[in-house]
Amino acid sequence: MSVPARSLRPTPGQTVGPFFAYGVEYDRMHQVVDPYAPGAVLLGGTVYDGAGAPVPDAFVEIFGADSDGRVPHDRGAFRRDDHTFTGFGRAFTNDDGHYEFFTRNPGAAPGRPAFFATIVFARGLPDKLHTRIYLPDDEAALTADAFLASLDPAERASLVARRTEGGGLHHDIRLQGEGETVFLAF
């Protein structure tokens, strides 16, 4: 008995979102540390689309080293216990495209710049976008970094946060267009 040949049509492409809240939310997900913990900083910004409009239904994930520059390996990112630093957080943008995290300034290896590894999910994207948010505090390390040195000044600026008056960090993410954030290929 011969099996008839079948032709399968490819599954159509899908974009990320817009239903992020289903299965990805958890309690205090944007609080990498307690907002009142010693050394806590507020990291926030706005996600913009290619036309410069805020994206109200994106979400951003960050992962950062501890203040000594060590990558955390502790469990607990999804069950906050108020003392384990996992370095991981997730935040949705609000109606104005704004996101925020309570976290710590990540440390870095000597001579290397400190940064948060960052992932952005938004409607219309065929996949998540990887980028970095660098701390602005060590200009010598930023200048010496091989990756940052390979970028033109505008591209480099798209990756470096600015320090706010209160000691927090502000970093906008532009998905495309003028001032587009540099995204990394994985």
Q: How far is CA 175 from CA 8, 106, 111, 127, 164, in A?
A: 35, 24, 30, 12, 23
Contact 123, 16 (CB under 8 A): yes
The H or E element containing residue 143 is helix 139-144
Per-residue pLDDT tens digits for 120-175 = 998 888 889 999 999 999 999 999 999 999 999 999 999 999 999 999 999 999 99
Residue 18 has pLDDT above 70, yes or no: no
Domain ranges (residues) in the chain: 21-174
Report pLDDT for 47.
Answer: 97
Report pLDDT for 19.
Answer: 58
pTM across the whole model: 0.87
Per-residue pLDDT tens digits for 56-104 = 989 999 999 988 888 887 766 667 777 777 889 999 999 999 999 999 9
Calculated CA dihedral for residues 98, 117, 137, 66, nearest 10 degrees:
110
Report pLDDT for 4.
Answer: 61
Rounded to an integer, the average pLDDT of 32-47 is 94
CA 109 to mean position of chain CA atoms? 20
CATH architecture of 21-174: Sandwich (2.60)
Report pLDDT for 3.
Answer: 60
